[in-house]
Amino acid sequence: MKLFVYEHCPYCIRPRVVLGYKNIGCDIEYLLDNDIDGHTEKIGAKQVPILQKEDKSYMTESLDIVDYLDNLNANPIFTKTNGRNDIEKIFSEMSSEYRTLIFSYVQCASLGEFATDEARQYFIKRYLKHINLDNVNEAIELREKHKEKVENTLKKLEKCIYSKKYISDCGLSMDDVIYFANLQRMLIVPDLNIPLKISEYMEYQLSKNNCNIKYI
């Protein structure tokens, strides 16, 4: 099998969590951000992650891929949950600041999807529209302000972490797949003050899964 991903994308982290926990052999390949044909020839759209299964067919949608991988050999290990509205609410409080802060560092990082300058510039132009900014310097100038907001919000989030192993009290679950994938992005921000309980949870998850991203 082969998983096509971007390194900075939280949706691409989700299946890599399952690959790591279940020790599933799967090649990881980075698609250039501006390689439209590399995406569309597989699934008809510019979207990641993309899983090429053993029969050479492709599938997309991160949670569909997660479900497929978890049910290989009819041995799922991730409990289905009803979601965590408390965590969703906290993430929504810092959504804009979180995205912009992370972008300010991702845009200059040495990642697989930015192996060419053209690919990097394509991403920057695309993402600036997403965060409603005109240029990279605006995002950089907002770093300290947004960092403060994120750090204060993480203090609230710490209270929602069940243990250093699991984010919810039901044990290993889809909550871990979804929320770890979102949290790991913040590790690109240098000197970010991460509360102890979140830090321990992140460290445990990184030791178990298959997403040791280059910038971590």
Number of Cβ within a 10 Å radius of residue 19: 20
Q: Which 8-state DSSP code applies to residue 154? A: H
Domain membership of residue 62 (yes or no) is: yes
Q: For position 211, what pLDDT does the model report?
A: 59
In this structure, the answer to whether residues 116 and 195 fall within a common structural domain is yes
Domain membership of residue 156 (yes or no) is: yes
Q: For position 210, what pLDDT does the model report?
A: 61
Q: For position 216, what pLDDT does the model report?
A: 41
DSSP, residue by residue, 56-121: S-EEE-HHHHHHHHHTGGG---SBP----HHHHHHHHHTHHHHHHHHHHHHTTS--GGGSSHHHHH
> Cα(59)–Cα(69) distance, rounded to whole angstroms?
11
In this structure, the answer to whether residues 33 and 96 fall within a common structural domain is no
pLDDT averaged per 10 residues, the chain (length 216): 95 94 93 97 97 97 97 93 91 96 96 97 97 97 98 98 96 96 93 96 86 49
In this structure, the answer to whether residues 125 and 18 fall within a common structural domain is no
Q: Which residues contact 203 (CB under 8 A, 6 or more apart)?
A: 164
Q: Which residues contact 31 (CB under 8 A, 6 or more apart)?
A: 4, 5, 6, 38, 39, 48, 50, 113
In this structure, the answer to whether residues 51 and 147 fall within a common structural domain is no
Number of Cβ within a 10 Å radius of residue 202: 19
Q: For position 215, what pLDDT does the model report?
A: 44
Domain membership of residue 184 (yes or no) is: yes
Q: For position 189, what pLDDT does the model report?
A: 95
Residue written as token pair 């949670």? 63
Domain membership of residue 214 (yes or no) is: no
Which of 24, 53, 74 is where one domain is finished?
74
Which of 27, 50, 74 is where one domain is finished?
74
Are the CB atoms for 87 and 185 separated by under 8 Å?
A: no
9: left (phi over 0), alpha (psi -120 to 50) or beta: beta
In this structure, the answer to whether residues 152 and 101 fall within a common structural domain is yes
In this structure, the answer to whether residues 119 and 199 fall within a common structural domain is yes
In this structure, the answer to whether residues 92 and 183 fall within a common structural domain is yes
CATH code where residue 175 lies? 1.20.1050.10
Are the CB atoms for 14 and 62 separated by under 8 Å?
A: yes
Q: For position 81, what pLDDT does the model report?
A: 85
